[in-house]
Structure 1
Amino acid sequence: MTSLEIVKQYYACFNNKDWAGMLALLHPEVRHEPNQGEPRIGIELFTEFLKHMDESYEETLMDMFFFAEPTDERVAVEFVVNGIYKKGEEGLPEAHNQTYILPAAAFLGLKDGKISRVTTYYNLPLWIQLVSE
């Protein structure tokens, strides 16, 4: 399977809420670089992150565009997050099932046929504005 196919499968699992399927595509020492905060290293920390996200947000990714480079080691994806903010977090607005539509992007690295890095970017001030309205 090519890197592009692996990443497309990863995001299909995300949209289907198939967390086990997502985790199966990750390298054991995956590096997760979130938009805010410190990187997480390893599947255990990524699993905790997924659990937290599942409790706090209901998200589906739409309008996905994938970009691969010739060495088959990196893939970029641009998408729109269609979400519901279910559970508030410290330092963020109170949650009461606000909906939001937010553009975002991710950059993924692959090693040994597994996703070894996930870096995600979005506009946090815009998200805060959307859930505060």
Structure 2
Amino acid sequence: MSAQLIRRYWECANARDWTAFANTLHPDVEYRVPQTRERIRGVDQYVAFNATYPGDWRVEIVRVLADGDQAVSEIAFHVEQQTLTGISFFTLQDGLIRRIEDWWPEPYEAPPRAVAVERY
């Protein structure tokens, strides 16, 4: 059930259905981006954050893993001419998303190594 909730959350975001999106969230939802030290609290503020996000963006779900009240998703976030990887950790409460922690790793060139590493 928690994996379905996370998929629904992303589907609603893609559809820009902010009412349905809000219905996936706990009233006391908290959103954090550790890299930028941003925190948003409450459904109204978090919905507004997403509804006003700049650019023409689209989310592609790569995978969702869930266990009890914890879930994680990997997404391909397509915005303008680039695609970013997003990893989101979710904590659920009362069947709704209570906390989200977003990580946005950037690709980088691996350093030379002393052991054989296969690149893909």
**TM-score normalised by length of structure 1:** 0.72
Number of paired residues? 107
CA root-mean-square deviation: 1.8
Q: Tell me the secondary structure at the aligned position of residue 46 of structure 2.
A: helix
Gaps of 5+ in 1: 85-98, 127-133
Gaps of 5+ in 2: 109-120
Q: Tell me the secondary structure at the aligned position of residue 57 of structure 1.
A: coil
The structure with more radius of gyration: 2
Q: Which has the higher helix share?
A: 1
Query: Matched residues in 1 for 2:5 and 2:76: separation?
Result: 20
State the Cα distance separating 1:125 from its structure 2 match: 8.6
Query: Matched residues in 1 for 2:98 and 2:22: separation?
Result: 11
**TM-score normalised by length of structure 2:** 0.79
Identity %: 21
Q: Aligned residue for 2:40? A: 40
Q: Aligned residue for 1:106? A: 88
1:63-102 aligned at under 5 Å gives the runs 63-69=61-67, 72-84=68-80, 99-102=81-84
State the Cα distance separating 1:13 from its structure 2 match: 0.8
State the Cα distance separating 1:64 from its structure 2 match: 1.7
Query: Matched residues in 2 for 1:58 and 1:36: separation?
Result: 22
Query: Matched residues in 2 for 1:30 and 1:117: separation?
Result: 5
